[in-house]
Chain A
Amino acid sequence: MEPGEARNSLTQLRRGVVEYCVLALLVKEELYGFDLIRRLSQVDGLVTSEGTIYPLLSRLRRDGWVSTSWRESDSGPPRRYYALTSDGHRALEAFTNDWRVFSRAVDDLLTKGST
């Protein structure tokens, strides 16, 4: 496989995974968009265009996986904070279980293939 194709499959993977990474970041605390995206971007290769996370957040809100609330900020106008809902919790748990099984299986296969 050409390196370009590997990158392309990474794009596909990223698309399916990034929303659960967003949910995971909200487990411990509520975050506002800019802060959430900054943390997400610290994971190498996960986010290519930070702005596309906003439509994703909007979709998660419509799906009822996250909720939003306005809070005053020390500097400037109020900010929209995102919080995980109970539906979001359940979705994240289900994904986490599947992901463990899936990633272990793929790891095994990749390791076997390379020896």
Chain B
Amino acid sequence: MSTIEDMSADYLRRMDAAAGSLQPERRAELLQEIHEHVDAAREAAGGDPVAMRNALDRLGDPVEIVAAAQDGPALVAVVAPRPGLGVEIAALLLLTLGSLVPFAGWIAGVVLLWSSRRWTTAEKCLATVVMPFGPAPALFAAGIALPSGSGPLTVIVLTTLVAFWVIAPIVVAVVLYRRARDRAAQESTDAATVSVRPSYRAA
């Protein structure tokens, strides 16, 4: 059976680890408060391990506490979320399947890609660079190369083309779709948090 000291140390270790994602200033403040709380709880437990266990259970999961600390003042500036992922899905479809329409489809996809606020600039650059005119040109190239002979060199060239020009855009599209979906979900959580704070805010 673990002692009160072990329990406290274990809890604080998990807390310190979970708080790693916070801004330094806020992390220092939160950790200091939680350490203080655990000290006070240890004192209140008066040597009773069960009382200490209960106190730590009531204090809650460190991950949950850190999540609560991440809802910061920036939330107030959150605009009403655009529901759905229509723009993002259209952008990704145009960047991949849309490239079957020479140039126009892919360019429309790039425009939509850069208009979305659910991707970072780095992600947008990646999607633009990794999908130059989409996977369709690779298929056309394969179509031209195929009749001209099927030696081992052609097979290697075709495999490489397919790998880099077809699979890479699809992988990037899937990753970007997931990120957009997660950020859309985060937006609605944030909006819910904002909406429960009505007009009592000091002017």
Residue of B nearest to A94 (CB): B200
Query: Do B33 and A50 have beta carbons less than 8 Å apart?
Result: no
| CB contacts between A and B, total, < 8 Å | 86
Within 8 A of B (CB), among A24-66: 33-34, 37, 41, 48-52, 54-59, 62-65
Interface size on A, residues (CB 8 A): 34
Query: Do B68 and A55 have beta carbons less than 8 Å apart?
Result: yes
Query: Do A49 and B64 have beta carbons less than 8 Å apart?
Result: yes
Query: Do A51 and B201 have beta carbons less than 8 Å apart?
Result: no
Q: Which residues of chain B come closer than 8 Å to A75, judged between CB atoms?
A: 43
Query: Do A64 and B26 have beta carbons less than 8 Å apart?
Result: no
Out of A51, A59, A79, name the residue touching B59 (CB < 8 Å).
Answer: A51
Query: Do B60 and A50 have beta carbons less than 8 Å apart?
Result: yes
Interface size on B, residues (CB 8 A): 33
Q: Which residues of chain B come closer than 8 Å to A54, judged between CB atoms?
A: 30, 33-34, 37, 65, 69
Q: Does A103 contact B (CB under 8 A)?
A: no
Out of A12, A41, A58, name the residue touching B29 (CB < 8 Å).
Answer: A58
Within 8 A of A (CB), among B150-203: 192-193, 196-202
Query: Do A50 and B58 have beta carbons less than 8 Å apart?
Result: yes
Query: Do A15 and B196 have beta carbons less than 8 Å apart?
Result: yes
Out of A50, A63, A98, name the residue touching B202 (CB < 8 Å).
Answer: A63
Residue of B nearest to A53 (CB): B68
Residue of B nearest to A19 (CB): B197
Given A56-B68, A90-B202, A91-B201: A79 in contact with B36 (beta carbons within 8 A):
yes
Q: How many angstroms from the CA of A87 to the CA of B202 in the assembled complex?
A: 6
Residue of A nearest to B40 (CB): A34
Q: Which residues of chain B come closer than 8 Å to A76, judged between CB atoms?
A: 39, 43
Q: How many angstroms from the CA of A107 to the CA of B61 in the assembled complex?
A: 34
Give B31 Cβ to nearest chain A Cβ, in Å.
10
Residue of B nearest to A79 (CB): B36
